Amino acid sequence: VAKESTQLSAWYSDAQEASRLSHLSLLSDLRAAVQNDELQMWLQPKIRFNDHSCYGFEALVRWQHPQRGFISPAEFIPFAERTGYINHVTDWMLKQALQTLASWQHAYPQLSIAVNVSTKDLRDQSFPERVHQLLQQYQVKPENLQLELTESGIMENPGNAIPLLQSLRNIGIGLSIDDFGTGHSSLAYLQKLPVTELKIDRSFVINIDQQASTQRLVKTIIEMGHGLNLHVIAEGIETEAERDTLISLGCDSMQGYFASKPLHGAGLQNWLIHLADS
Ligand code: C2E
Ligand code: CA
Ligand code: CA
Ligand code: CA
């Protein structure tokens, strides 16, 4: 506790005392949430355009706080990153994903789960070894696991990130560049990244059917991705018109509310049952 308190006071000025105190209690709450399994893993389907099949899911963390109610990951993930607690959250999500994949091994061996990895995780040279160890512990094939790394996170320190990505790729895990188009990666670097998927950021998808210039840009991104042998998926597709436009531009797959919101519990079970039907 003492170590984390010191770390936190370095982050917040006196003027932010109130916020600091509330963040201190948030940190102990987050620690409790991880320990008591108060977090939840929700899964959002990824759908291939060519055969309309669901080939996997993105894992999204949810936190239902006993007093504060639902806390969005957009709020607590950056907080967890600042306080250095993010690696525990990543570890928790990896275990959840692997446990789920292990339980699907017979009924749904084709499905993959993609776990979001933070920039902070990429600084930890032992991260690939940790993932490898967990895969063995849960007896899951590496090709069923995918990791999503943001373009800006990779580009923050490509010299560190690239060898680490290579180690993960050598294990056989799929690697996706998340939020693509927002992180200023140069073409020279893109070619060096040992990744398997490119995920077009939602900011390009919103109303793409009405924007000719965005369509030209996204078409170029898709062609470039294919030129590098990458699977190209678009995130945040909400309408039929957005989906149809992305199909016409040659995109491979989609994720978004139009296909399905993130699922959990009965909603997820229902989705899986229908998968078996089709
Ligand atoms: P992201 O990785 O870009 O995840 C996509 C976000 O868009 C998710 O929000 C998802 O619920 C939302 N979304 C999906 N389809 C649609 C759509 O059609 N329309 C709209 N408006 N939104 C859509 P969420 O779950 O609130 O997560 C927000 C961000 O928090 C994520 O962005 C990711 O950066 C981070 N995050 C979430 N879970 C994790 C996690 O387990 N670990 C880490 N490190 N970050 C996470
Ligand atoms: Ca993501
Ligand atoms: Ca994303
Ligand atoms: Ca995004």
Pick the residue whose CA is nearest to atom 29 on ligand 1: 74
Tens of pLDDT, residue by residue over 219-278, are: 999 999 999 999 999 999 999 999 999 999 999 999 999 999 999 999 999 999 998 666
Output the pLDDT for position 242. Answer: 98
Residue 60: CB within 6 Å of ligand 1? yes
Of 196, 180, 276, give the one whose Cα is nearest residue 234. 180
Contacts of 144 (CB under 8 A, 6+ apart): 101, 109, 111, 112, 113
Q: What is the CA radius of gyration of the chain?
A: 19
Residue having the nearest C-alpha atom to atom 3 of ligand 1:
179
Over the stretch 43-53, which tens digit does the pLDDT of each residue have?
A: 999 999 999 99
ipTM of predicted assembly, 2 dp = 0.98
Is residue 21 predicted with pLDDT exceeding 60?
no
Mean pLDDT over 129-152 rounds to 97
Mean pLDDT of the chain: 91
User: 253-254 and 69-71 as β-strands: parallel, antiparallel, unpaired?
Assistant: unpaired
* 125 CB neighbour count, 10 Å cutoff: 11
Percent of the chain with pLDDT over 90: 72
CA distance 259 to 254: 8
- The minimum-distance atom of ligand 1 relative to the CA of 201 is 3
- Whole-angstrom distance, CA of residue 56 vs CA of residue 252: 14
Ion ligand 2 residues within 5 Å by Cβ: 116, 148, 178
Q: Where do we find the tokens 């339980």?
A: 103
Given pLDDT bands bounded at 50, 70 and 90, which one contains residue 4?
A: very low
Counting from 1 in the atom list of ligand 1, the atom nearest the Cα of 199 is 3
Ligand 2 centre distance from Cα of residue 116 (Å): 5
How many Å apart are CA 2 and CA 28, to the nearest integer? 12
Q: Which residues 6+ apart lie within 8 Å of 197 measured at CB?
A: 146, 174, 175, 176, 177, 230, 231, 232, 233
Ligand nearest to C-alpha 44:
1
Q: How confident is the model at residue 65 (pLDDT cuts 50, 70, 90)?
A: confident
Q: How far apart (Å, rounded) are the C-alpha atoms in residues 157 and 121?
A: 12
Sign of the CA dihedral 232, 128, 30, 4?
Answer: negative
- Determine if ligand 1 sits within 6 Å of the CB of residue 153: no
Q: What's the pLDDT score for residue 14?
A: 54
**pLDDT surpasses 90 at 130:** yes
